[in-house]
Amino acid sequence: MFKALIVDKDEAGTTSASVQDISTDRLPEGNVTVAVEYSSVNYKDGLCLGSGGGLVRNYPHVPGIDYAGTVEASEDPRYAVGDKVVLTGWRVGEVHWGGYAQKARVNGDWLVPLPEGLSTRQSMAVGTAGFTAMLAIMALEDHGLTPQKGEVLVTGAAGGVGSVATAILAHLGYQVAAVTGRPETEGYLRELGATRIVAREDIAETVKRPLEAETWAGCVDAVGGAMLARVLGQMKYGASVAAVGLAGGAALPATVVPFLLRGVNLLGIDSVMQPYENRVRAWQRIATDLPMDKLEAMVQPATLTDLPKLGGDILKGQVKGRVVVDVNA
């Protein structure tokens, strides 16, 4: 038996979540069984802890889109009992049972070895949000971003993706302008390395002019919607925006003018289906480019029983930094 946070749906379509003791034979199919140590709370987890947001196919369901732990049984020659592993993506926690449990079973193709220099807890302090922030920064670098080019904008900065992006960019020597709707997080963001704070309302409004002053050399955007549209018109000539999220909306009320007159690039970032080599590269970069004291400053610890409330909080944009779930606490 092991503990798991189970979300169930009744006939009226109402979901409810509770921690239950379940037996190992209920684990889904897969060739690697992991004794989970830590998971985390991401925006998608908020959806899967509640109504499912169209992501969850079957109930009862165990959410948790990422986890880290120790291999307990393996039929995959790449993983032996005792190996430390990390999982993000592949629709685990949505279509497949996820990390809000003391045990998980998956396809070995979806795992990566725990990166050297990180503990299982630190890897989940990073989690899907931080891993995706790293992918976004790598994409911006691949498109020519260097610290000499100017300020980099991070939207949704006090959230998970934004916090990790801010800390990594600052560590790499970038000037970071952090957009937040929570003025009380200014001290936190400056501690992570932000050099300028931009109030959400100053950049969220739509404007008629498709182009504004060339301001940002790059952008990691966790917000989407009207803010992303506005940011496109503020990018420097030839600069790129890495579109990561939709915390502010999925619509993009923009014009093509920034693409045509300023050669601006809009780079899509997907963490779910990233090829293995890129995952390993991103995790290695995280281990070297994210200062661990800054990562610790982002962490809010949690247990399985805290999750239903935290799921609601993250959907309302009320979680600061990263929530790390100790599934054995």
Output phi, psi for 214, to 5 deg.
Answer: -70, 110
Residue 158 and residue 288 in contact, taking contact as beta carbons nearer than 8 Å: no
Q: Which is nearer to ligand NDP, 73 or 246 (CB)?
A: 246
Identified binder of ligand NDP from the candidate list 3, 44, 103, 279, rule CB under 6 A = 44
Q: According to the binding rule CB under 6 A, does residue 310 interact with ligand NDP?
A: no
Q: By CB under 6 A, which span of 25-33, 97-105, 269-277, 296-304 interacts with ligand NDP?
A: 269-277
Q: According to the binding rule CB under 6 A, does residue 34 interact with ligand NDP?
A: no
Buried-state track 157-194, b at ≥16 Cβ within 10 A, e below 16: bbbbbbbbbbbbbbebebbbbbbbbbeebbebbbbbbb
Residue 40 and residue 302 in contact, taking contact as beta carbons nearer than 8 Å: no
Q: What angle do CA 135, 247, 209 make, to 5 degrees?
A: 95
Q: According to the binding rule CB under 6 A, does residue 272 interact with ligand NDP?
A: yes
Q: According to the binding rule CB under 6 A, does residue 265 interact with ligand NDP?
A: no
Output phi, psi for 250, to 5 deg.
Answer: -90, -20
Q: According to the binding rule CB under 6 A, does residue 222 interact with ligand NDP?
A: yes
CB of 261 to ligand NDP, least distance (A): 26
Identified binder of ligand NDP from the candidate list 39, 128, 240, 265, rule CB under 6 A = 128
Q: According to the binding rule CB under 6 A, does residue 269 interact with ligand NDP?
A: yes
Whether the CA torsion 276, 281, 282, 286 is positive or negative: it is positive
E-strand stretches of 10-65: 15-22, 32-41
Q: According to the binding rule CB under 6 A, does residue 181 interact with ligand NDP?
A: yes
Tell me how many residues contact ligand NDP (CB under 6 A): 34
Contact residues for ligand NDP, defined by CB under 6 A: 42-44, 128-129, 132, 156-162, 180-182, 185, 200, 204, 222-223, 227, 244-248, 269-272, 314, 317, 319
